[in-house]
Structure 1
Amino acid sequence: MTDHQPGRHMAAEIDQQPGIFDGLLARRDGIASVASAIAARKPRFVLLAARGSSDHAALYAKYLTEVLLELPAGLVSPSTTTLYGAQPDLRDVLVVSVSQSGGSPDLLEVTESARARGALTVAVTNTASSPLNAAAELSVDVGAGVEQAVAATKTYSATLLALYLLVDAIRGGNGSAAASLGDLARSTLDSSADAVAEAVQRYRFVDRVLTTGRGYSLPTALEAALKLAETSYLAARAYSGADLLHGPVAAVDAETAVLAVTSSGKGGDALHDVLDAVHGRGADVLAVGSASDKVSAALRIPVAETAEEVAPILEILPIQRLAHGLALARGGDPDNPRGLNKITRTR
């Protein structure tokens, strides 16, 4: 016998995020000291290593690196090291390994190998005592606390914020664009609740969902598809808005639900024509973001407006609530999705 209420851990962890943001912002000086060490080394290239939700956070950091630091950046393919034994020259390269647990064997091996080949290595994790932190030269603790639900919520958003603060500090910023995120997260969760509840009822019987975004919001679209797939077992697929028009749009019809992440800024502006095309094919569009009222959609979930580069930290909050609500409405337990464990060990 158990008294576990389905989804209670995930619900609680979603609600904890505003306070976690406040805590991270209060510890910005520690992140800035890591950034100073990185800036002093003057890396010429940035590589990001991650898996799962952390891979979406790494993609967000890739956008930050290329736009704010104007440095080339790429995502590591761990198997080139773990399976094929490749040994590239990584002098003057910054390797950032992103992992909630810090316990994935492949990320540990990638980090150790990169450090041995001359890279400056940084671990961004939620587990300060993890093997990954020990392997990296520098580390950033995202400080989200223990996460009980299998589906990552607070660790994902806290990782986004930690990565933003790190990149911003490397360029000499003071974190001002993120300063009010704790309060904005509270207002976003509160103001979006009714629209999320309406979306749960509207999409509870849908079988196929397509998610899309541009620019900084693409990682949010990818994370949205993952959350819907792992908690509600939906056939969810994410596309960049740019790629969507290059073929996949042909599969969009009146039976397709499209979750579009659209916030104020260049990425949201670039999504307008895409959503006009999708809407014209009869798809049921759910727009999420601070610019959701500016696009063609059947339903909109508002998000507080921020500088575009920090919008993903807020965009994901109502989507997590949506995934939680849909899982419960479809008879599942988002705390314990079938076939999944909190730590996935890959090589």
Structure 2
Amino acid sequence: MTSQNEPGKHMSAEVSAQPAIFAGLVERRAEIAEVAEQVRRRKPRFVLLAARGSSDHAALYAKYLTEVLLELPAGLVSPSTTTLYGAQPDLTDVLVVSVSQSGGSPDLLEVTESARRRGALTVAVTNTADSPLNQAAELSVDIGAGVELAVAATKTYSATLLALYLLIDAVRGGDGEHVRNIGELAQATLDGSVDAVAEAVRRYRFVERVITTGRGYSSATAAEAALKLAETSYLAARAYSGADLLHGPVAAVDAETAVLAVTSLGKGGAAMKDVLDVVHQRGADVLAVGSAASDAAAALRIQVAESAEEVAPILEVLPVQRLALGLSLARGGDPDAPRGLKKVTKTL
């Protein structure tokens, strides 16, 4: 069933809306800073992040931010340890951040309620201010992306990244300097990547197997890229960190493999150079995406506007979303309504 006879129109509009959403979210930085101040006063010793789906990739990004910028240990929650196995660890002085675009996942709700009972400071980061998750958490951050009509998350994912960055940056005492013009950078990225994305759609229209890879902060973008390609174009897409790719999976890379490599300026992008050299030597067709794409060993490159490395994932994902949209349409699909998927997936 197509989206009102125009496949992809919602996803296309929502991708294009992101620069304005980013600018609006930055303008609301003071609201997020108030939440951050309460976190700072509690002085958490550890951070746990709970999420599912695309939000799980946003949580992975937040894990890197927490460990690098706050120098606090951080981990990703396995909700089933609470919902299926009933584990009740002591979470005194622990910050639990639950990330959910809808705020309606029963397992995340249970994790948040349980964590709060066990002494954690709980923060919900959602796109639905009146959601059950927001009500369950002690504090909440509204990402303010507006209603998302396409099943595949685009604007809610990127806005979640930005909201998490603003929160963590404020906890460390930052002033949001690196994202002050993020809306302009996002628009420049979307405008400047149109031709390269179109060429990538033509080049990879008939591919069936894709590996996505990145390092550091960009690991989250690689994971989200694999999910978007799988859910919109039904591709067999698998994400690996650049380091893990060389520890075995590279053996499966050959001339029939398309590799989407996320590489932006900074330590993570620099660490991808050796990875791409190896993959390129194995004959893989490499598509490099990021602000360091021009220096990558690749068959095709999609350049992204330069930014501080810690905020690059907010920009890197934009042409990836456009690529997923274009491939889905080129392959006869409707990315607004992928088969077998719903907007909110409820798991226990």
Bucket of the pairwise TM-score, normalised by the shorter protein: over 0.9
Kindly state the Cα deviation for residue 78 of structure 1 after the two structures are TM-superposed.
Answer: 0.3
Deviations along 1:82-127, whole A, 9 cap, x unmatched? 0000000000000000000000000000000000000000000000
Say whether residues 1:115 and 2:116 are aligned partners. Answer: yes
Q: Note the 1:24-35 alignment, pairs <5 A.
A: 24-35=25-36
Kindly state the Cα deviation for residue 16 of structure 1 after the two structures are TM-superposed.
Answer: 0.3
Aligned to 1:297, the other structure's residue is in SS state coil
Deviations along 1:178-230, whole A, 9 cap, x unmatched? 11100000000000000000000000000000000000000000000000000
Aligned to 2:65, the other structure's residue is in SS state helix
Instruction: Give the structure 2 partner of residue 217 of structure 1.
Output: 218
Aligned to 1:123, the other structure's residue is in SS state strand
Q: Note the 1:69-148 alignment, pairs <5 A.
A: 69-148=70-149
Kindly state the Cα deviation for residue 295 of structure 1 after the two structures are TM-superposed.
Answer: 1.1
Kindly state the Cα deviation for residue 3 of structure 1 after the two structures are TM-superposed.
Answer: 3.9
Instruction: Give the structure 1 partner of residue 319 of structure 2.
Output: 318
Aligned to 2:323, the other structure's residue is in SS state helix
Q: Distance in 1 between matches of 2:192 and 2:173?
A: 34
Instruction: Give the structure 1 partner of residue 5 of structure 2.
Output: 4
Aligned to 2:220, the other structure's residue is in SS state helix
The alignment of Structure 1 onto Structure 2 pairs a total of residues equal to 347
Deviations along 1:45-92, whole A, 9 cap, x unmatched? 000000000000000000000000000000000000000000000000
What amino acid sits opposite 1:293 in the alignment?
A: S
Q: Distance in 2 between matches of 1:216 and 1:249?
A: 21
Q: Distance in 1 between matches of 2:147 and 2:4?
A: 20
Say whether residues 1:283 and 2:280 are aligned partners. Answer: no
Instruction: Give the structure 1 partner of residue 195 of structure 2.
Output: 194
Q: Distance in 1 between matches of 2:96 and 2:253?
A: 38
Aligned to 1:35, the other structure's residue is in SS state helix
Q: Note the 1:239-318 alignment, pairs <5 A.
A: 239-318=240-319
What amino acid sits opposite 2:260 in the alignment?
A: L
Q: Distance in 1 between matches of 2:312 and 2:286?
A: 20
Instruction: Give the structure 1 partner of residue 171 of structure 2.
Output: 170
What amino acid sits opposite 1:301 in the alignment?
A: I
Q: TM-score, normalised by structure 1?
A: 0.99
Deviations along 1:232-251, whole A, 9 cap, x unmatched? 00000000000000000000
Q: TM-score, normalised by structure 2?
A: 0.99
Aligned to 2:213, the other structure's residue is in SS state strand
Specify every segment of 5 or more residues in structure 2 that has no aligned partner in the other structure, as ranges: none
Aligned to 2:162, the other structure's residue is in SS state helix
Q: Distance in 2 between matches of 1:216 and 1:109?
A: 28
Q: Distance in 2 between matches of 1:320 and 1:222?
A: 12
Deviations along 1:20-46, whole A, 9 cap, x unmatched? 001100000000000000000000000
Instruction: Give the structure 2 partner of residue 20 of structure 1.
Output: 21
Q: Note the 1:33-48 alignment, pairs <5 A.
A: 33-48=34-49
Kindly state the Cα deviation for residue 4 of structure 1 after the two structures are TM-superposed.
Answer: 2.7
Instruction: Give the structure 1 partner of residue 229 of structure 2.
Output: 228
Deviations along 1:243-289, whole A, 9 cap, x unmatched? 00000000000000000000000000000000000000000000000
Instruction: Give the structure 2 partner of residue 337 of structure 1.
Output: 338
Q: Distance in 1 between matches of 2:315 and 2:174?
A: 20
What amino acid sits opposite 1:219 in the alignment?
A: A
Q: Distance in 1 between matches of 2:4 and 2:99?
A: 34
Instruction: Give the structure 1 partner of residue 154 of structure 2.
Output: 153
Instruction: Give the structure 2 partner of residue 54 of structure 1.
Output: 55
Specify every segment of 5 or more residues in structure 1 that has no aligned partner in the other structure, as ranges: none
- RMSD in angstroms over aligned alpha carbons? 0.8
Distance of aligned partners of 1:22 and 1:69 in 2 relative to their CA distance in 1, 3 Å threshold: same
What amino acid sits opposite 1:43 in the alignment?
A: P
What amino acid sits opposite 1:89 in the alignment?
A: D
Aligned to 2:92, the other structure's residue is in SS state coil
